[in-house]
Amino acid sequence: MMKSPDVIYLYIPLMKELHMNWSEIKSLPRKEIEGLLFGLAQYNKMHQFDGYDEKDVSEMAKDKPAIRSDYYRYMELKRSYEERAGAEVKAKSLAGLIK
């Protein structure tokens, strides 16, 4: 187990982020553990830019251009979940109203 990446990619995030103990982790089937980790990853993606607007992202992107693409993926993911939930999104432009 010491050479296995499972320790880093599975057990540590479950223990740290989801506050699971070792016996809980070992009692779950692998599929459930993978589902929990996928949910945790989605949660982190969906909330990584909370509190920032496009102006803030533009300022940060001056130093690290990859932030801009991460932000647009975040916005797309957020939009898709809002559509699934049936949330009504206000259009900011005429083109948004036409869609």
Residue at 96 is within a domain: no
Q: What's the pLDDT at 90?
A: 65
Do 76 and 65 reside in the same domain of the chain?
Answer: yes
Sign of CA dihedral 35, 39, 40, 45: positive
In a domain, 91, yes or no: no
Are residues 54 and 40 part of one domain? no
Q: Tokens at residue 77, please? A: 């993911």
| Predicted TM-score (pTM) of this structure | 0.61
CB 77 within 8 A of CB 46: yes
The reply to whether 68 and 43 lie within a common domain is no
Number of other residues whose CB lies within 10 A of the CB of residue 36? 18
Retrieve residue 94's tokens: 């005429």
Q: Among all chains, which residue has been given the structure tokens 């809002």? A: 82
**Domain with 25 in it:** 1-47
| Pair (5, 35) in one structural domain | yes
What's the pLDDT tens digit per position in 16-74?
888 888 888 889 898 998 888 888 888 888 888 888 888 988 898 898 989 989 898 88
